Structure 1
Amino acid sequence: MSQNLKSASQSAHDKLKGSLYLTIAASIWGGMFVVVKIVVPSVPPMILVWSRYLIAIIALVLFCLQQKVDWHIAKRDWPLLIGIGLIGQLASIVFQETGTMLANAQIGSIVTATTPAFMTLFAAWLLREKLSWQQLLAVTSATTGVVLAGGGFHVKPQQLLGVGSLTIAALTWALMSVLLKKVPARYPALQVTTVGTAVALIGLTPMIFIGYPHFNWAVLTTPKVGAGILYLGIISTAVAFVLWNKGLQYLRASQSGLFFFFQPLVGSLLGWLVLGEALHVSFVVGCLLIFAGVGLTLREP
């Protein structure tokens, strides 16, 4: 009896710890949409992502040195770690940046918030996680809340390409998040994030120098753009990716996805505060539905 109570207490503690990591990471990404919208007019999406990863890899390597990470990785695990980098940190982020440029910060955060639904499906397929009525109700509640928080899904015809790009970003990010659950526990989140970021940076570098031979790199040193890229590289990439990957270790993939809804919540709020984007009355109702969905997830055994 005592052992069971101790186990239950530890499980609840781990769930709260994972929830905190995931909430902070998703909230940071919500603010990222606003930063991207400010910086993108001066910098093409591909160069923005490349610059962001260049800053991130420096920060991550320094973190790894400070933590004295053991870099021995089994040969059989390399394909999975490389695949995670290509799918999540390369493809997903490029589509996300492009979609945000073609749409707006609110639509960007709302469309990519379909990620939890995709995560639930991928978890059932790849991890054999069973879908409960509570999970489905939580996803439905939070998804409805996201649309309401953004004032409804008002998309102009010229923004459809952006919506398509953002949908691909959501799909690839969901797949990456579920694949992270298959990474052996002996590899810390910091190590997995560093490998994925390095893979994305290596994959992007040839495309950058072939596709943008005449880009004015001096733009990156201007105060506004430079500060934005530093934020995206250190906070939105290095710190947030590590927190997200670490949070996934404590919860099931289908549960973890619900915390992604804090991204559109923060994105919509900051889009209103900083960019002057419209914030509808339904925002409060949407917020309550999002919190209800997350609450259902936390209560699930």
Structure 2
Amino acid sequence: MNKTLLGSIYLALASSIWGGMYVVVKIVVSVIPPLELVWMRYLVAMVSLLVVSFITRQKWRIHKRDLLIIIAIGIIGNTISIVAQETGTMLSSAQMGAIITSSTPAFMVIFARLILQERLTLKKGFSICLATIGVLLIVGADQVDLSSKLGGISLLVAALTWALMSVLVKRVPSEYSQIMVTTYSILVALIVLTPFVLPRLQAINISQLSHPAIWGGLLYLGIVSTAGGFLLWNRGLQMLNASSGGLFFFFQPVVGTLLGWLILGENIGLTFWTGSIFILIGVILVIKEKK
């Protein structure tokens, strides 16, 4: 299969998985605070990644010269960005979250230019503009609740740091498997978060964790959203340049809105389908772009 097409599929799947994540986080965070939730989902993800690594017989050796980039990915993307994202989701509306996090691809273009010296073509810029218009049509920019300032700032930090992490992934040598890179970066996040989380765990109501919606949501966040989503995203970014790969992040609000319609019975109108067409055109332009 064409490398660009395969990378596009990986990135689209990752973003689609994360599209359903906001609904789950909104439910689980009512029982488990954001910081503790990130820590718990990483524990679940670590176990699942170690099982996969054992089955596939992964090599774990990493050169000292590459340790710094792995640590940076773990702190910037897996720690700061995810904690900020779940905090922002808790404090703000889903619509505000969709709009602010949709700025991630634009930040990726900037970081890709500064760090990787990737050339910004007219087609890339046009694709991002089309997809941004599509997202604004879907979520309805006029409905944003500006009173949730703290949540908005937190989501902006999440978008900025995730974009930086996604570009840094391109600096990881291709000799390392994505399972190894993802596992090590999650381990870094666990090490950073543990001293802050352990003293706070006793405040969680243990009896509420037995509810199927809570432990089921935690398993989804750990196995599907974290282990599966991160693996797909990192692998896809290795196959496309960073600025083009970021465009697939726009699948997140599309899938989130669709799931809200299918599961929660929320109404979607003509603007959703119009916005989806804009995003689809932008993605097709990237897939067809000659390397």
* Alignment TM-score, normalising by the size of structure 1: 0.92
5+ residue gaps in structure 2? none
Counterpart in the other structure of 2:170: 181
2:228 is matched with: 239
2:129 is matched with which residue: 140, 153, 156?
Answer: 140
Structure 1 runs (4+) deviating above 6 angstroms are none
- What does 1:155-234 correspond to in 2, within 5 Å? 155-234=144-223
- Residue 142 of structure 1 and its aligned partner are, at CA, apart by 0.3
Is the counterpart of residue 118 in structure 1 residue 107 in structure 2?
yes
* TM norm structure 2: 0.95
Partner Cα distance (1:46, 1:115) in 2:
22
**Match status 1:49 vs 2:38:** yes
Cα displacement (A) at 1:230: 0.3
Report the equivalent of 1:257.
Answer: 246
Which residue identity lines up with residue 237 of structure 1 in the other structure? Answer: T
Deviations 1:134-190 (A, max 9, x none): 111000110110111112342223322211111110000000000000000100111
Match of 2:95 among 106, 121, 136: 106
- Tell me the SS of whatever aligns to 2:282: helix
Q: Is the 8 A contact 1:33 1:109 kept in 2?
A: no
Deviations 1:50-89 (CA, angstroms, capped at 9, x unpaired): 1111100000011111111111100111111011011001
CA distance in 2, matches of 1:282, 1:159: 24
Match of 2:257 in 1: 268
Question: Residue 105 of structure 1 contacts residue 271 of structure 1 at CA under 8 Å; is this kept in 2?
Answer: no
Return closer, same or farther for 1:135/1:24 CA change in 2, 3 Å cut-off. Answer: same
- Matching residue of 1:29: 18
Q: Is it true that 1:60 corresponds to 2:57 in the alignment?
A: no
Q: Does 1:19 align with 2:8?
A: yes
Moved more, 208-217 or 235-244: 208-217
The answer to whether the 8 A contact 1:90-1:200 is kept is yes
CA contact (8 A) 2:96 2:145 kept: no
The gaps in structure 1 that reach 5 residues or longer are 1-9
Aligned residue in 1 for 2:281: 292
Equivalenced residues, count: 290
1:150 is aligned to: 139
Q: Report Cα offsets for 1:266-292 as digits up to 9, x if no partner.
A: 112223433455534311111011011
Contact 2:95 / 2:144 at 8 angstroms: preserved in 1? Answer: no
Give a deviation string over 1:19-67, Cα, whole Å, max 9, x none. 1100000000000011111221122111111111110000001111111
Cα distance in 2, alignment partners of residues 231 and 266 from structure 1? 16
Residue in structure 1 matched with residue 272 of structure 2 by the alignment: 283
Distance in 1, Cα, partners of 2:91 & 2:130: 28
2: distance between equivalents of 1:153 and 1:130? 34
Letter in 1 for 2:247: L
**Correspondence for 1:76 among 65, 70, 73:** 65
User: What do residues 171-218 of structure 1 show as CA deviations (whole Å, max 9, x unaligned)?
Assistant: 000000000000001001111000011111111111112345432234
Counterpart of 1:261 in structure 2: which amino acid?
Answer: F
